Amino acid sequence: MYIVQSGMNIESYTQILTRYWGFTSFKPLQEEIIRSIAEGRDTLGLMPTGGGKSLTFQVPTLAQEGICLVITPLIALMKDQVNRLNSLEIKSIAIHSGMSGEEIDNALENSIYGDYKFLYISPERISTRIFQAKVSRLNLSLVAIDEAHCISQWGYDFRPSYLKIASLRDHISEKVPFLALTASATPQVIDDIMKKLAFREKNVLRTSFDRKNISYLVRKVEDKGTYLIKTLQKAKGSGIVYVRSRKRCKEVADLMVANGISADFYHAGLTDELRDKKQASWTIGETRVIVATNAFGMGIDKSEVRFVIHWDIPDSIENYFQESGRVGRDGKPAFAVLLYSPSDKSRLIDTIRKKFPAVEKIKDTYEALCNYLQVPLGSGKDNVFDFNMYDFVSKYRLPVIEAYNSLQFLQREGYMEFTEEINNPSRVHFIVSRDDLYKFQVANESFDGFIKLLLRSYTGMFAEFVPVNEETLSRKSAATRDTVYQYLVKLSTLKIISYIPGKKTALVIFTEERLVRKALMISPDNYLHVKEKYEVRLDKMIEYADSDGHCRSVYLLNYFGEESDRCGICDVCRERNELDLSKYEFDLILEDIKSVLSEKNPDAEELVKMIDYPEDKSIKVIRWLLDHNKIVPDNDHKLTWGS
């Protein structure tokens, strides 16, 4: 039973919020976004990590008739949100590339004729014939686009399939608003999102990215392990340590455990069950520190995270800001620490070479992929293939990193979509009516007990495909797993159920038919354009780590187009604070120095005399500026403003 009212005020939305999620008030910006949607306006919402983006489309959808179409590239996130909504008795369903045609057709029919409120879909499914044929029959109330920065070629995670989203407007009522959501976007990306989604008007709602409780620190250390152990032995509370590789995950976690720190590791190579177990243990406080790749982050509800430490430097400010933003959501003091050594800089620069294989190498990978998947010339469009990366690179003797980045580039060019490994559980759907099933049970007594077990264990199997677990059925029936499997296969053969066995695999989706090599266009200009943008983002990340003359918080906020005063609590500000000068005094002297150096180039002694402030305070500021290369002496000791 959903709350459906017309002309609702914010109190009514709050009632929905309280009823389903238990909150009594909205977080900053949530209310403004909901009001904007209620007015039927296309809206771009910029909310930092942990800001509660999903509620901005979930709450208003429950307040009106119709279904919300949610577009997200993250299949794991899609499944997680659908499971959460269904657990709240809010009927929701998902369509993604890991599903069979039968499942997709069933899900769309249920979305059209059932009382579903949310249909989650991955972006590459939008342009498929089956979706295009049925989308106009959906009673849509809202289209929500998560990770909206993926639509911009200026962004750090561009996906060509996002460019198809605007075409939805040709198939749905013009009254249905678009809500685009992202946790990080530069001013250029913001404009691009609204343009590419064909917003009817510019409408950006944003909350400040300023997290006043977070102390951003850069620690320049050679021995990261020793620093980490000493720091965590003194620090209090729970936290996350981010690393770049699965191998290092376990190594760093083992190092902590060996030094008496409660820790565990997490990465995408683990089973869903094991990842869920590790995350739950960390969330409830059984494990103090989780060492993880960037696979860890989705669905984190833990507000009392006291520290996020980056062992390895990320390749963009966007990634760093999003990952470090998982700290201190309770508003209490927290730390975001970047460990940085000289070797990190050269390693990060070397990623440019690895990230951008030569164009001919990309074409080699494309041809090898088509042959591996046995895709004939002129065919394959919209086909979905299971894909084993390690088998692929072994068979064709390709370097793993080069092959992976070639696939990423082919995705950027719009020839295919490549998903990370996903775990699809087994699914069952009864394809006979209840009456016909009863007749079958009477006539086939040997299946009766197993069918009753299925119906007792799971609900909804007559309406849709429902995930089942053969191990669970095995335990409940005291039969072997193979016996359970054989029952399911036999019932499927007899056309009583449709049974799709579970599998864990990455997927390749061809968004264009296979082309001959010479027709595979990878524009040199586009290639260089993408590379240059990546290099700019990389340079900004290195500059953040290298610099010790700019407030960390101000640097991050300026990157996203936001002005701010210095935070006073980052490592740079703390060093300034040790000068025993107020911010007001420091800034006054600083401005005076700037003014003098804009016209003259005195030496340090002359500069002190030219400043109309106490000598001891002026000397402190000048020394600080010299130490941080803000003012630079020439061979004659004459000073100029450095940066």
Helices (H) and strands (E) in the chain, counts: 25, 21
d(CA 64, CA 57): 11
243-290: pLDDT as tens digits? 998 899 999 999 999 999 999 999 877 877 888 899 889 999 999 999
Residue listed under structure tokens 């699914």: 427
Report residue 400 as tokens: 């793993």
Q: 340 in helix, strand or coil? A: strand
Q: Is 131 exposed, middle or buried (0-12, 13-18, 19+ CB in 10 A)?
A: middle
Please give the structure tokens belonging to residue 186.
């530069």
Cα 515 off chain centre by:
32
Question: What pLDDT sits at residue 8?
Answer: 62
- What does residue 22 show for φ and ψ, rounded to 5 degrees? 80, 5
Tell which residue, 98, 177, 176, 188, has the closest CA to residue 151: 188
Strands across the sheet containing 334-340? 214-220, 334-340, 305-310, 238-242, 289-292, 263-266
Spatial CB neighbours of 458, under 8 Å, sequence gap ≥ 6: 428, 466, 468
Which residue stretches of 198-292 are H helix?
224-234, 246-258, 272-283
> What pLDDT, in 10s, does the model give residues 7-37?
567 788 999 999 999 989 998 899 999 999 9
Q: What's the per-residue H, E or C state across 182-210?
A: ECCCCHHHHHHHHHHCCCCCCCEEECCCC
Count of beta carbons in the 10 Å neighbourhood of residue 396: 15
Q: Is the pLDDT of residue 86 over 60?
A: yes
Q: What is the sign of the dihedral through the CA atoms of 627, 631, 634 and 638?
A: negative
Query: Which residues neighbour 635 within 8 Å (Cβ) at sequence distance 6 or greater?
Result: none
Contacts 24+ apart (CB under 8 A), 27-36: 27/51, 27/52, 27/55, 28/207, 29/56, 29/205, 29/206, 29/207, 30/55, 30/56, 30/59, 32/205, 33/179, 33/205, 34/10, 34/59, 34/60, 35/10, 36/203, 36/205
**Distance of alpha carbon 468 from alpha carbon 488, whole angstroms:** 11
What average pLDDT does the segment 490-502 reach?
93
Cβ atoms 329, 350 nearer than 8 A: no
Q: Which residues lie below 8 Å from residue 136, measured CB to CB, with a gap of 6+?
A: 171, 172
Q: What is the pLDDT of residues 393-417, one digit of tens each?
A: 999 999 988 999 899 889 888 898 8
Question: For residue 298, what pLDDT is reported?
Answer: 65
Residue of 420 and 80 predicted with greater confidence: 80
Which pLDDT tens digit goes with each residue over 601-635? 888 888 888 887 778 788 878 887 887 777 888 88
**% of the chain residues with pLDDT over 90:** 51
* Average pLDDT of the chain to the nearest whole number: 88
pLDDT at 1 (0 to 100):
45
Measured distance CA(293)–CA(214) in Å, rounded: 21
**Three-class SS of residue 593?**
helix
More confident residue, 486 or 632: 486
What tokens were used for 593? 């120095």
CB count, 10 Å around CB of 149? 25
182-197: average pLDDT: 91
Class of residue 102 by CB neighbours under 10 A (exposed 0-12, middle 13-18, buried 19+): middle
For residues 87 and 468, give the distance between their C-alpha atoms in angstroms, rounded to a whole number: 16
Question: Reading across the β-sheet that carries 466-468, which strands appear in turn?
Answer: 466-468, 426-430, 497-500
Is 297 a residue whose pLDDT tops 80?
no
**Alpha-helical regions (H) of 28-167:** 30-38, 55-62, 75-87, 101-113, 129-134
Residue 294 structure tokens: 């960037």
- Return the pLDDT at 4: 46
| Stretch (H or E) spanning 426 | strand 426-430
273 three-state secondary structure: helix
Phi, psi for 580 (deg, rounded to 5): 65, 40
Report the pLDDT value the prediction gives residue 7, as an integer from 0 to 100: 53
**pLDDT exceeds 50 at position 552:** yes
What pLDDT sits at residue 548?
A: 82
Instruction: Please say whether the beta carbons of 124 and 509 come within 8 A.
Output: yes
The residue with greater pLDDT, 235 or 204, is 204
Residues 89-108: pLDDT tens digits?
Answer: 999 999 987 788 888 999 99
pLDDT in tens, 385-399: 989 888 999 999 999
What pLDDT digit, counting tens, does each position of 148-174 carry?
999 987 776 788 889 999 999 999 998
DSSP SS3 for 296: coil
Where is 542: in which H helix or E strand? helix 524-546
**How far, in Å, CA of 203 to CA of 33, rounded?**
10
pLDDT at 643: 61
For CA atoms 577, 581, 587, 589, the dihedral sign is negative
Cβ-based neighbours of 501, under 8 Å, separated by 6 or more: 426, 485, 488
pLDDT of residue 184: 80
What letter does residue 216 receive in the DSSP assignment? E
Mark out the alpha helices in 129-201 (DSSP H runs).
129-134, 187-196
Is residue 308 helix, strand or coil?
strand
Looking at residue 640, the DSSP 8-state letter turns out to be: E
Neighbours of 598 (CB within 10 A): 9
Radius of gyration of the CA atoms of the chain, in A? 28
What is the pTM for the complete model shown? 0.78
| d(C-alpha 343, C-alpha 350), whole Å | 11
